[in-house]
Each structure stands twice: as structure tokens, then as C-alpha cells.
Amino acid sequence: MPRISARELALRVLELVEEEGAYANLALNQVLEEYQPGKLDRAFATELSYGTLRSLNTLDWVLAQFVRKPLESQTAAIRNILRLGAYQLIFMDRVPPSAVCNEGAEMARRYGYPGSVGFVNGVLRNISRRAKEIKFPEIGHNPVEHISLRYSHPPWLVERWLEQFGPEETVALCRANNEPAPNTVRTNTLKLTRDGLAARLREDGLTVRETVYAPEGLHIEGFFSLGSLAALKEGLFQVQDESSMLACRALMPRPGARVLDSCSAPGGKTTHLAQLMENQGEITAVDIHPHKLKLLDENCSRLGINIVKELAGDARELPEKLHGWADFVLVDAPCTGLGVLRRRPDARWRKKPDQFPAVVRLQAEILAGAARCLKAGGVLVYSTCTITYEENLGQVKNFLKLHPDFLLEDLTPFLPESLDTEGTMAGGYLQLLPHRHGMDGFFIARIRKKG
């Protein structure tokens, strides 16, 4: 396989996303696997492709001020070469502008059309000279447009957050979404302690620091790829964000219990629940996609977990034999994913407000279906990786209204009090936010069925 530059790797990722509808993380993995770049090129290509995709509306707005014809009239290759160049000039101070312009022109020579070299070179050099003159709309005059363009989020989403959080927090949230997410792993406490895992990973040359709230978590840096780490292959850890770990701790099933995980694959939370149960008891892990249950099975095998039974099925219509079966139920519901935008750089442009009603209906049906499986006196945790009222607290309130034999239960015995920035944990729920808590946006509610 011929070697290509990091900028060309990023260009290939952008083309896969734009022309083939690929998800950014899958496109990046495909390109890195195909070309096997070195560590520095790998990191640079990741920053270029993810950063450009996060900033698409801002980059296109800037470019529109420097090109006469609409970007849409250009070929996909030239359009994305310009975006990559603009991203480096505007957001990457450590990259020399001369290198950006020269490399952009060279890519235009390889992937463009006759005359595109001079065009790309001219546009990028013009942006380089006038970058400091670019003025965004004033926040006082048009806060939606200012935040949308300054921090690269869809206007409809900014408008929604302004109503929910106000200007200051909306800016903070958008900023947090534009920061790279940490690489967070959960110690497999069935095999070793967090300190033991940290020591092992440091011996392997990684930079390691403990998560603030989850006692099993570590943030890790300095590896080539997760798949290359021997500690992963040995089952010493599982990749999982800290907020996701907290959802399992909010349920906290006891050893020997019966647990239903209604939307389980690929198994991050399922295997965490098994750890909390000390691999004693029984977990029925349900997922509507049979092929995803294979990932769960592989994770259980790698981690040394043998109490999980997979069940391919729809959580809205679970088998009657499971009704009243579980001591604990986890409903980690499908959602709009607005709490994890920092992990999915292209996701903010794929989300549409008209998607919400169908998602909310699906969540309600899954929650009702899973709740049928809970014993009297049992506990259900409802969680999502989003930050909207209708998918979170609104969903829980509607469920409780329709199911008077359920009630919210105090979360303070299970989660650190310092998480409770709004004083809601005693009331049974918690909204985690990237800019407040330094982790993925997540909603957690603990609900008990009356005995």
C-alpha cells in the first residue's frame, strides 16, 4: 500500500462521510486500517478529519467569504481540500500557514481538475492573510447565529439550548462538545484493582489518570490504538465513559440477583453490572440486533464473565416468562445522542428536530415493556446519553403517571454528592452535562416498583 500524507488520509475520511454517508469514526478506522500510518500521521489525520467535520458550518461560512461561486459547485475533492485548509488556518495555530497552502495546492494537483491548483492556493493564501479580520455575528444582536457559527452547532440546536440553559451555559456546552473526548476505560475488578491496572498501563508506556467520580475508571493516553494494547486482550479493562459507569452504579445490583438489561449490546453496561454482582447471579441481556449480541458475547468471554445470557428480541415485547422475573432492570434507551456529540463529530449535522417524536415514542414503549419484567420491590434505572427534557425527565414523569405502582428513589446512596449541581439526586434523577461534569452528557433515574 503506497504511503499518503496525513492530510490525504483526512481528505479520504471526509469524502467517505460526504459521498458514501459513512459515520466519521468508521470512516477513520477504515482509512487508518487501509494505510497503516505512523503514530504522528495517525494523530494528525484524526485531528484534521474530526475537527473539520465538527466545524463544517463555520468553515463553509468562512469559505463563502473568499470564493465567488458556491462551494456546492466545486467537486467533493476540492470542496474538502478547502475545508481542511481553512480548518488548519483558523483552528490550528501550530501549523505553519505556508505548509497549509502548499499542501492544499499539492492535493489539488493530485485530486483536482485543471486550474484547481491556482484556485485552492489563492483561496487559502487569502484566508491566511485575512484570518484575523473574520468577524462573527455579534452575540447581542443575534445569539443563535453567533453561537452556531462561532462554536459550530446547528442553529436549531443552539436555539433549543438557549431556551434550556441560557447564553452562558450554551456557549460552555458547545465549547465542551468541540473538545476531544478522553479515552476512558473501566477496570475489570474481577481480575485486578484500578491501581493495579494503572500500574500495568504505565509499565506499557501510557499516561494514566483516575476518573473523578467512578471508582473503576481511568483516562488513558499515549497508545497507538486500543486494539494493540495487551491489557485489553487480556480482559483487564473495558472501554466505557465515566457517565456510563455511573448509570450502572445507580442500579447497583447485588451479587446473586436477577438482572434484565433491555438494550444491552455491545455490552459495556452489561459487563459492568456483572462486575458489580461479582459475577454471581444471572443477567438476561436483550438486544434487537442479533449480530450485536456477538460483540457482547466476545466482551464477556474476554473479561471472564459467565453469568450473562443473550436474548435477541424487541424490548417492547419481551417474552412472558420474563414478566415479574427481574430484581433489577436497566433501560439504557435509544436516544438522540445529544450528550455525546464530542465523540461523534459528524453527528450534530445528522440530527434533525423532526426525529424527536419517534424517538420519544420508542423510549416510552421500551420503558413500559421492560418495566413489566420487574418484581414487586425491584429497581429500574432509566438512562440515556442525551440532554433533552422530553427524552429524560419528561419521559420518566409520563411513565410514572401511567404506572402509579412505580416511584422515583433517592440516588444519593449510590452516586457522589458532588455530581448533584442542581439538587435533584434526592428526588431520584440526575442530568450529567459535559461542560459541568467533564464527561458525556447522560441522564439517570432510579425507579422502584412498590412492594
Which residues are tagged catalytic?
Answer: 385
Give the closest residue to 383 by CA, choosing from 332, 326, 341.
332
What letter does residue 132 receive in the DSSP assignment? G
The DSSP-derived string for 307-364 is -EEEEES-TTS--GGGTTTEEEEEEE-----TT-GGG-TTHHHH--GGGHHHHHHHHH
Helices marked H in 55-181: 56-64, 76-91, 97-111, 116-130, 143-150, 155-165, 167-177
3-state DSSP assignment of residue 295: helix
Residue 179: other Cβ atoms inside 10 A: 12
Contacts of 5 (CB under 8 A, 6+ apart): 41, 103
What SS3 state is found at 261? strand
CA atoms within 13 A on the CB side of 405: 11
**CA nearest neighbour of 40 among 48, 30, 51:** 48
> What residues contact residue 230 under an 8 Å CB cut-off, 6+ apart?
204
